[in-house]
């Protein structure tokens, strides 16, 4: 899709580096955001600054949204000067928000009424993955629309997978991802705190575990943050709470238990109650540290 006009709405921790990659790839880019400084920063790099989602729709053939939650997505779509009344027939909305599958269905319906198309394509990989174009992207929606947009998605992601034809399929894949991430974070936290309580150097423990069957992305990426006490957010506790809330609601709808995810959600809730909701989600280790009375920090 060389030179196709692209829009991007939502220029936060993830949206700004993603939009920059699209601009750097040579695509004319129109941007909008609730706060103006991010728009101005992209405009200084060559993007067209827009005052509303409707203005983005006027300028772009494919529009990306990367927003905090379903209410913000629906405001961009259904609100005043929203996308629902402005999308051109044949254009595509790709929502990369970690969203409620039911919201994705509503947005897909609104796009269909305009003769436009919709993909829900949440991502995983933190701001570092957004900057490097190595995100995992899980897309739901019509396969032919996905294939049409694949070149754009591959600018953003190192692994781009079509997970289902129905609206909301991408959201469900992201919720599954968040279940696994949360439970894995708990496992990493318990293992390192357990070792620290027994008198081991958590750094040495992380090193040896990373060479065996316990090795995992959570250990590789997040153990250094635990060991240094660095909880500046990539993914936030508050965002993960939101994702697990949607996962647990979907599980209840399907009449299946999620015992691990339920426990992780409770521990994340305890962090938010302690005023730690804006920390990186690996701060779940703090809940375990408090119960154990020891911190899993590197020695020396």
Q: Give the DSSP per-residue string, 85-142.
A: GTPPTT-EEEE-S---HHHHHHHHHHHHHTT-EEEE--EESHHHHHHHT-EEEEEES-
| pLDDT above 80 (res 148) | yes
Give the global pTM. 0.92
Question: How far is it, in rounded angstroms, from Cα 122 to Cα 250?
Answer: 17
- pLDDT of 2 over the 60 cut: no
Cα gap 271→242, rounded to integer Å: 14
pLDDT at 209: 98
8 Å CB contact between 66 and 33? no
Question: With b meaning 16 or more CB within 10 Å and e meaning fewer, what string describes 265-274?
Answer: bebbbbbeee
pLDDT above 70 coverage of the chain, percent? 99
Task: Give the confidence band of 300 by pLDDT, cuts at 50, 70, 90.
Answer: low
Mean pLDDT of all residues in the chain?
96
Instruction: Indicate if the pLDDT at residue 91 is higher than 90.
Output: yes
Beta bridge partners of 157: 135
C-alpha distances (whole Å) from 5 to each of 59, 60, 154 are 7, 5, 16
Domains along the chain with CATH numbers: 6-165 (3.40.50.720), 172-292 (1.10.1040.10)
- In angstroms, rounded to a whole number, what is the distance separating the alpha carbons of residues 234 and 243? 15
CA-to-CA distance for 249 and 210, rounded, in angstroms? 34
Q: Which of 143, 159, 174, 236 is catalytic?
A: 174
Statement: residue 1 has pLDDT above 70: no
Query: Residue 126: what pLDDT?
Result: 85
What are φ and ψ of residue 66, in 5° steps? Answer: -140, 95
pLDDT in tens, 111-130: 999 999 999 999 998 889 99
Mean pLDDT across 79-84: 96
The torsion angles phi and psi of 136, rounded to 5 degrees, stand at: -90, 125
Catalytic residue flag (residue 174): yes
């Amino acid at each position: 899709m060389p030179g196709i006009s692209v829009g991007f709405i939502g220029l936060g921790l993830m949206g700004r580096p993603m939009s920059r990659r699209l601009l750097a790839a040579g695509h004319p880019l129109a941007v909008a955001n609730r706060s103006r400084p991010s728009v101005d920063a992209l405009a200084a790099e060559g993007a067209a600054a827009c005052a509303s989602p409707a203005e983005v729709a006027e300028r772009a053939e494919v529009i990306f949204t990367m927003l905090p939650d379903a209410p913000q997505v629906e405001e961009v779509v259904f609100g005043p000067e929203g996308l629902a009344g402005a999308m051109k027939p044949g254009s595509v909305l790709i929502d990369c928000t970690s969203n409620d599958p039911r919201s994705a269905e509503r947005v897909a319906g609104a796009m269909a009424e305009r003769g436009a198309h919709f993909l829900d394509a949440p991502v995983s990989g933190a701001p570092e993955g957004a900057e490097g174009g190595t995100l995992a992207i899980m897309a739901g929606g019509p396969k032919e629309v996905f294939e049409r947009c694949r070149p754009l998605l591959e600018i953003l992601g190192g692994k781009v997978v079509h997970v289902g034809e129905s609206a909301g399929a991408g959201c469900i894949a992201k919720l599954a991802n968040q279940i696994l991430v949360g439970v894995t974070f708990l496992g990493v936290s318990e293992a390192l705190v357990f070792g620290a309580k027994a008198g081991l150097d958590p750094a040495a423990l992380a090193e040896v575990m990373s060479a065996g069957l316990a090795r995992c992305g959570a250990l590789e990426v997040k153990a250094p943050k635990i060991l240094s006490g660095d909880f500046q957010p990539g993914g936030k506790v508050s965002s993960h709470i939101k994702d697990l809330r949607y996962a647990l609601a979907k599980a209840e709808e399907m009449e299946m238990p999620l015992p691990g995810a339920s426990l992780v959600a409770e521990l994340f809730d305890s962090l938010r109650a302690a005023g730690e909701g804006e920390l990186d989600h690996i701060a779940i280790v703090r809940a375990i540290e408090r119960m154990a009375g020891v911190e899993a920090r590197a020695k020396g």
